[in-house]
Amino acid sequence: MSDVTWSEERIAALLSRFPPAPQGWVEAAAALPRLRTVLDDLVARAEADAAIRASLIADLETALAGSGIEPTPRAVAELRSRLEA
């Protein structure tokens, strides 16, 4: 083991030497909790009602957009995966 002391202050000083994360990463990370909530809600609605499930599966992009989520390929794939599970 090393004799280096890893206090919070030391770790903070070392981390501060890194450049800030790209703005796109920050925005994507901030959007994840809302995306997860919307996907959970859509899947719960689909599980409760076969007609809603069929409608969602038929047009995933519109379902996401209607919930305020940009229907990116990744968001569409995640919703599709959750509905198939």
pLDDT tens digits for 57-78?
999 999 999 999 999 999 999 9
6 inside domain: no
40 inside domain: yes
What residues make up the domain containing 61? 24-84
From residue 59, how far is each of 13, 26, 48, 54 by CA, in Å? Answer: 49, 29, 18, 9
56 inside domain: yes
Q: Per the structure, how many domains does the chain have? A: 1
Span 24-58, pLDDT tens digits: 999 999 999 999 999 999 999 999 999 999 999 99
Question: pTM, whole model, 2 decimals?
Answer: 0.73
